Amino acid sequence: MMRLRYIFSFIIIIININIQASSYNSLGQTGLINLPSAEIHQEQSVYLTFNRSNYVKLGTITVTPFDWLEASYFYYRPDDLKWGDAKGLYLDKGFNIKLSYQPQSTLLPRFAIGLDDFAGTGQFTREYIVSTYDFNNLKLTSGLGWGKFVGDSSINNPFSIFSDRFKAREKVNIGLGGEPNLKTIFHGKATPLIGIEFNIPRVSNLTFKVENDPFDYFKFGCCGEGLSDESYEVRQKDSDINYGFSYRYKEYGNIDISYIKGNSWNITFSVGFSAKKAHRKKNAFKPDIQNNNFNQSTKENEFYLDLLDNLNKNQLFLQSASVQNDTLHLNIDSAEHFNPIIYTSRAAYISNNIAKLNDININKIEVGQVVRGSKINSIKYRSSDLNLDDRYPDVIIKRYTDVSNSKELEYKKHAFQPRVNFPVVINTIAPDLKTHIGSPEQFIYTGLGIKVSTEIQFNRNLVLYSTIGKSVIDNFDDKLSIPNTRLPPVRTEIVDYLQQGSSDIYITNLNLEYIRPIYDDLYAKLSYGYLEYMYGGFAAELLYKPFESDIAIGIEYNKVKKRSYDQKLDFLDYEATMPRFNLAYYHPSTNILTKWSYGKYLAGDEGYTLDISRRMPSGWNAGFFFSQTNVTAEQFGEGSFDKGFYFNIPLSIFRKGYRKDIRGLSLRTMTRDGGQQLELQNRLIDSFYGSTLSEINENWSNYLD
């Protein structure tokens, strides 16, 4: 009772201290020190967290696609566990997921349900239900934990009132890992979780955390050859209270220093950001419009040339134009924008002003975008709406703008067709960073080189791509290549490619690609050559993406041969034929894109891949995928089936202007041979954003931006 009275007195003392942003626990999730909270990162965020104590290294990538969903992927490397009779080589990986809910009432706390390591080896398998109450001056987190949360102290499972099966937590054989242990979730004994966080007075962004420590740290000592003599020293717990300080730098992350289990210091670094808003203010759209004197014989020709010059100066490349009655029809290709409302409204604004300067009477301007010879949209604006100084609300603009299905080949009949001097050659020189992550011997192997990427456009439809690299330095030779597979080694020989390919000049890809529309909403693609770093051959794809539908349907046929390890011009004996059926559905109100495909994979196995992501109009997206094929878990090997996650970030959020460049990361839990597809560029199923009504309508807030 005395201790409890002191705790409540302490809370009353700090009741007037203002607390602000949340911080992150050692798993990279929003939370306290080792315990979770109900809080969550801002949506569209990505954070990287590294945690170090005297017995463990823990790295985590956390992605928050929604303001109610947080998912993370972690690497766990304990210093004391033995692997191959040596300490510090054991490596574990796993997924965590948190669902969070904020009630509308300010009188209620935020709630969260979480599953940690729910599809791994069981090292961290645990579940929790917590609430976090933000008193505006204090954050109080409380709840219950199951599984590995439970240490020496526990209580009876409250769910046992619904069924006796919740009373016990059966020990499940994890087998080859990778399978969710659904039979154990929220089963067995439970333990209370409680902690507080508050600001240090007069020190901005510095908080103090206190939490109970329910863990038995020896329960995290399985796998490999298990505990070493050192384990009995570093895993010993002398206190049930953890406490520490957390310093947060704006919204970009934090550094925590904590004292845990009464005998160990712990340090945590977390860095990241949200792509929900631009991190630099965009330059205002104020184009420099000039009326040139091209000395043309007709006023209309003078107008077309002025139009061409001014649009091209603004990176809106004119493909065709025609004046018919009081309507200007034009088609462009944007070098900087994915957003169909931005590039069409900008093109319409510039065209409207050029028409006024040339005394051309225009009441409507229809703008379409042509991509690789395909006209993917048609948006017709009223000239009276194209005013930067006195803009109507976007909803009014949308009401009086005609968005319709494009007529694929109609633009080729336009009066003005600018001549392009093909071939167009584009060269890019950039660093080439290669990595191999997740080996027990060493967490990451790296290689640095230089690559030259070339794009030769023979016409709008036919393009030659090549990427040729030269290694400068790497440590891939330190890694042994041990495919250890019962399937054809279609991907597990990755180390052989990294070692031999990086020893000299290598060709990542060298392929000819042809894309063209066959009919309205129907696109075709053919590719031939060295398609990726491990395979070359022939790839064909057909896509039907109706304008007024959120469903896209496609088929693929790929016939490839395995390339030599040095990634030059030779091939090995292995061949694969891969017919596939693709289906995609986009849900506009949630921005969720679901892709499902069925067919054959590189190793000859047959099955399906499900890919679910959140795709935002800015180009940010994050998702996860898994593949189930007709091979058994024993044939597949460790991990049981193929799965992973990815995210992509538009770099324009860090610029004052716009660019199309996007960078991302994709991680698999294991490199195995089952469920493996070709790594093709420019897949039709992922292309032609802005070609449907839903994709256009989700961008109206960017009108004339």
For residue 44, give the nearest of 621, 643, 659, 654 by alpha carbon: 621
Mean pLDDT per block of 10 residues along the chain (705 residues) reads 36 34 61 94 94 92 94 90 82 90 92 87 86 90 96 92 91 63 87 94 91 92 80 94 94 94 95 92 90 82 94 94 94 93 96 93 94 91 89 85 83 88 94 84 87 96 96 90 90 93 88 93 96 97 96 97 96 97 97 97 97 94 94 84 91 92 86 93 92 96 91
Cα(687)–Cα(371) distance, rounded to whole angstroms? 10
Q: What is the residue-wise DSSP string for 345-375?
A: HHHHHHHHHHHHHTT---SEEEEEEEETTEE
- What is the maximal distance between C-alpha atoms in the chain? 98
Cα(492)–Cα(562) distance, rounded to whole angstroms? 13
State the DSSP H helix or E strand holding residue 127, giving kind and residue range, or none if neither.
strand 126-134
pLDDT 10s digits, 642-672: 888 999 999 999 999 999 889 998 888 788 8
- Please tell me whether residue 636 adopts helix, strand or coil conformation: helix
pLDDT of residue 641: 83
Cα(275)–Cα(652) distance, rounded to whole angstroms? 10
pLDDT of residue 1: 36
CA distances from 174 to 181, 591, 634, 637 (A): 8, 35, 13, 13
Q: What is the residue-wise DSSP string for 491-536?
A: STTHHHHHHHHTTSEEEEEEEEEEEEEEETTEEEEEEEEE-SSSEE
pLDDT of residue 3: 40
Is 365:327 a contact under the CB 8 Å cutoff?
Answer: yes
Strands (E) across 632-691 are located at 642-650, 662-668
Work out the number of other CB atoms within 10 angstroms of the CB of residue 347: 27
Cα 247 to chain center, whole Å?
27
Buried residues in 519-545 as b, exposed as e (16+ CB within 10 A): eebebbbebebbbbbbbbbbbbbbbbb
Who's near 233: CB < 8 A, 6+ residues apart? none
- Please tell me whether residue 413 adopts helix, strand or coil conformation: helix
pLDDT 10s digits, 572-597: 999 999 999 999 999 999 999 999 99
Sole residue written with tokens 């766990």:
76
Who's near 382: CB < 8 A, 6+ residues apart? 363, 364, 400, 401
Termini Cα distance of the chain: 62
CA distances from 515 to 523, 543, 683, 689 (A): 7, 11, 10, 15
Strands (E) across 601-661 are located at 606-615, 621-629, 642-650
Q: Which two tokens stand for residue 51?
A: 């945690």
Cα(562)–Cα(452) distance, rounded to whole angstroms? 23
pLDDT of residue 15: 32
The DSSP letter of residue 33 is S
Is 350:311 a contact under the CB 8 Å cutoff?
Answer: yes
Q: Where are the alpha helices (DSSP H) in 235-371?
A: 299-313, 340-357
pLDDT of residue 381: 96
Q: What is the CA radius of gyration of the chain?
A: 29
Cα(428)–Cα(467) distance, rounded to whole angstroms? 9
Is 88:82 a contact under the CB 8 Å cutoff?
Answer: no
pLDDT of residue 2: 36
Cα(564)–Cα(688) distance, rounded to whole angstroms? 34
pLDDT of residue 94: 85
Q: Taking the CA atoms of 239, 240, 246 and 252 in sequence, report the sign of the dihedral they define.
A: positive
Is 250:265 a contact under the CB 8 Å cutoff?
Answer: no
Work out the number of other CB atoms within 10 angstroms of the CB of residue 569: 11
Half-sphere exposure at residue 368, Cβ-oriented, CA atoms within 13 angstroms: 28
Is 286:262 a contact under the CB 8 Å cutoff?
Answer: no
pLDDT 10s digits, 277-314: 889 999 999 998 988 888 777 888 999 999 999 999 99
